[in-house]
């Protein structure tokens, strides 16, 4: 049992028969730190954690509720920790136990009613339209954003006018970028939203100036797009031109061809990631909105949470895994070492999409169309196919975004920037919906007396 626990990375203490602590068994070539934070559980640990019999575990696996990872010896398997926790939280919630609400927040039971996005096997559905279909049919990102905000999908292409940015915003961001040689784009975007919030004054001043949630959303998205200019060759805040679509502005900024194929790829990426229900950042935006925070503070809360979570940094971790030129053999060996250390691969096997992330498939198709001849793209695709065939590792939208950005010739961190830029549309929509709901999000805590 001690051996199994050391492999799984369980944080619970291990003891010998006399009750003395024992050290976790090391995995050859893998640091103890990596071993200690594993993402998988052994068979015995799952049975103990869920209080079930082996037959029940096999049923969960066969029905797709818990994913298993075969080990090289062919005699044992590990089980994804997040799937086990999800099954446990649902069981507790159905049983009506006191901690049900807390357990339900671990990819568990629904906690908030929304009319914005439904997660389906075909990907997220924005109100009544599938995100991937909106992307495939080239509906402009601006139209999709306002569809989320208002419930009306305009037939004609919406044109967002460029509002002059506050004097000094560009200089503020340039100064922030100099604080560290590798300032993250999400940190600069956070500076952008708070800078705009300061410039627009208090709520009374904003009302006097005619600011509404939708006008604030448009301005924030265009300002975030301009902030991505710090990743471009110009390395500076680069405002969009008046009436210029976001996708076209990004193409101009990064020197990408402005033909229909490339513009569609950028637009589709923004549409596909616009919302995904209640991930941590979106939930943070709703919590802030329920406490009557202004739009800028709500989006700032979402962006800061996004940057600090595994969700928001998955693109960065996928870039590291597929470090250019992404040699297929090297990357595959790197991935196998992570699996041997009981670590999940960044940007693979989304817990909701057991048969693969539809958004990821779309991004991969677009990547091959716009840059399939690039060496780094071809190498990455070879590894992705091998990982899926041999390990059932299916790319999520984050990993596929990295592939698309490389196909477009964009630098590292561009995937993270595009992800947050597109997701801002959903954050704004959730802030609006939460305000209309009119209640404060304030869960109760279950005090643990055993901790004393």
Sign of the CA dihedral running 221, 290, 416, 272 = negative
Same domain for 308 and 444, yes or no, is: yes
Q: What is the pLDDT of residues 394-450, one digit of tens each?
A: 999 999 999 999 999 999 999 999 999 999 999 999 999 999 999 999 887 778 777
Residue 78's pLDDT is: 83
- Domain edge (last residue) among 104, 133, 152: 104
Contacts of 297 (CB under 8 A, 6+ apart): 197, 288
- Do the domain assignments include residue 111? no
Residue 260 has pLDDT above 90, yes or no: yes
354 within a domain of the structure (yes/no): yes
Could you list the residue range(s) of the whole structural domain that residue 133 is in?
116-452
CA gap 81, 68 in Å, rounded: 10
Is 33 inside any structural domain? Answer: yes
Could you tell me if 312 and 432 lie in one domain? yes
* 148 or 64: which leads in pLDDT: 148
Cα distance between residue 194 and residue 147, in whole Å: 26
Question: Is the entire prediction scored with pTM above 0.85?
Answer: no
CB-based contacts of 34: which residues, under 8 Å, 6+ apart? 341, 343
Within this chain, do residues 339 and 439 fall inside the same structural domain, yes or no?
yes
Residues 147-175 pLDDT 10s: 999 999 999 999 998 888 998 999 999 99
Residues 331-335, mean pLDDT to the nearest whole number: 95
Q: pLDDT above 90 covers what percent of the chain?
A: 64
Same domain for 169 and 130: yes
Counted domains in the chain = 2
- Shared domain check, 178 and 31: no
Bridge partner list, 124: 119
Domain end, chosen from 52, 81, 104, is at 104
Determine the Cα–Cα distance for residues 247 and 258; give it in Å rounded to an integer: 9
pLDDT class of 276 with cuts at 50, 70, 90: very high
CATH code: domain of residue 93: 1.10.1660
Torsion sign across C-alpha atoms 375, 376, 378, 382: positive
Q: Is residue 110 part of a domain?
A: no
Do 71 and 187 have their domain in common? no
Are 334 and 321 a contacting pair, CB within 8 Å? yes
Q: For the domain that residue 306 is a member of, what is the CATH number?
A: 1.10.580.10
Question: Are residue 186 and residue 237 in the same domain, yes or no?
Answer: yes
Which among 104, 135, 151 is the end of a domain?
104
Q: Which two tokens stand for residue 348?
A: 């693979």
Residue 90 has a pLDDT of 65
Same domain, 87 and 186: no
Average pLDDT across the chain, whole number: 86
User: Does residue 109 lie in a domain region?
Assistant: no
Q: Is 96 part of any domain?
A: yes
Indicate whether 397 and 357 sit together in one domain.
yes
161 belongs to a structural domain: yes
Q: Is residue 221 domain-shared with residue 324, that is, in the same domain? A: yes
Distance between CA atoms of residues 143 and 211, nearest Å:
20
The token pair at 167 is 């004097």
Q: What average pLDDT does this structure show over 297-305? A: 97
**Order of all β-strands in the sheet with 68-70:** 40-41, 77-80, 68-70
Q: Left (φ > 0), alpha (ψ -120 to 50) or beta: where does 19 sit?
A: left
pLDDT at 16 over 60: no
Q: Could you tell me which residue, 98 or 267, shows the higher pLDDT?
A: 267
145 in a domain, yes or no? yes
247 and 335 part of one domain:
yes
pLDDT of residue 1: 35
Whether pLDDT at 63 is above 80: no
10 has pLDDT over 50: no
pLDDT beyond 80 at 128 = yes
pLDDT tens readout for residues 403-412: 999 999 999 9
208 with 350, same domain? Answer: yes
Pairing status of strand 40-41 against strand 68-70:
unpaired
């Amino acid at each position: 049992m001690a051996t199994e626990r050391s492999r799984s990375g369980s944080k619970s203490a291990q003891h010998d028969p006399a009750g003395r602590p024992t050290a976790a068994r090391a995995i050859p070539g893998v640091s103890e730190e990596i071993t200690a934070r594993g993402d998988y559980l052994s068979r015995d640990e799952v049975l103990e954690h869920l209080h079930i019999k082996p037959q029940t575990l096999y049923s969960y696996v066969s029905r797709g509720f818990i994913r298993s990872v075969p080990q090289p010896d062919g005699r044992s398997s590990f089980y994804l920790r997040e799937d086990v926790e999800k099954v446990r939280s649902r069981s507790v919630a159905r049983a009506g136990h006191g901690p049900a609400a807390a357990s339900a927040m671990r990819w568990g039971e629904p906690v908030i009613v929304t009319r914005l996005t439904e997660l389906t096997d075909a990907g997220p559905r924005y109100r009544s339209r599938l995100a991937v279909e909106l992307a495939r049919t080239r509906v402009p990102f601006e139209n999709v954003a306002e569809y989320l905000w208002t419930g009306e999908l305009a037939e004609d292409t919406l044109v967002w006018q460029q509002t002059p940015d506050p004097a000094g915003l560009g200089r503020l961001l340039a100064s922030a970028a100099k604080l560290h040689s590798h300032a993250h784009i999400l940190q600069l975007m956070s500076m952008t939203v708070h800078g705009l919030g300061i410039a627009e004054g208090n709520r009374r001043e904003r009302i006097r100036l005619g600011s509404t949630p939708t006008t604030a959303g448009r301005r924030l998205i265009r300002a975030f797009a301009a902030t991505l200019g710090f990743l471009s060759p110009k390395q500076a805040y680069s405002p969009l031109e008046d009436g210029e679509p976001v996708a076209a502005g990004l193409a101009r900024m990064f020197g990408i061809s402005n033909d229909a194929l490339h513009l569609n790829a950028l637009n589709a990426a923004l549409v596909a990631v616009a919302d995904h229900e209640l991930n941590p950042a979106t939930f943070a935006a709703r919590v802030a909105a329920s406490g009557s925070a202004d739009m800028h503070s709500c989006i700032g809360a979402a962006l800061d949470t996004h940057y600090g979570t595994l969700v928001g940094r998955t693109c960065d971790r996928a870039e590291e895994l597929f470090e250019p030129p992404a040699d297929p053999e090297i990357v595959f060996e790197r991935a196998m070492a992570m699996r041997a250390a009981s670590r999940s691969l960044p940007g693979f096997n989304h817990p909701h999409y057991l048969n693969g992330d539809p958004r990821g498939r779309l991004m991969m198709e677009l990547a091959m169309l716009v840059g399939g001849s690039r060496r780094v793209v071809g190498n990455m695709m070879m590894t992705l196919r091998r990982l899926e065939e041999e390990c059932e590792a299916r790319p999520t939208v984050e990993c596929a975004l990295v592939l698309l950005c490389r196909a477009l010739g964009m630098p590292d961190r561009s995937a993270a920037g595009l992800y947050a830029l597109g997701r801002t549309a959903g954050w704004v929509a959730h802030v609006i919906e939460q305000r209309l709901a009119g209640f404060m999000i304030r869960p109760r805590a279950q005090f643990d007396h055993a901790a004393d």
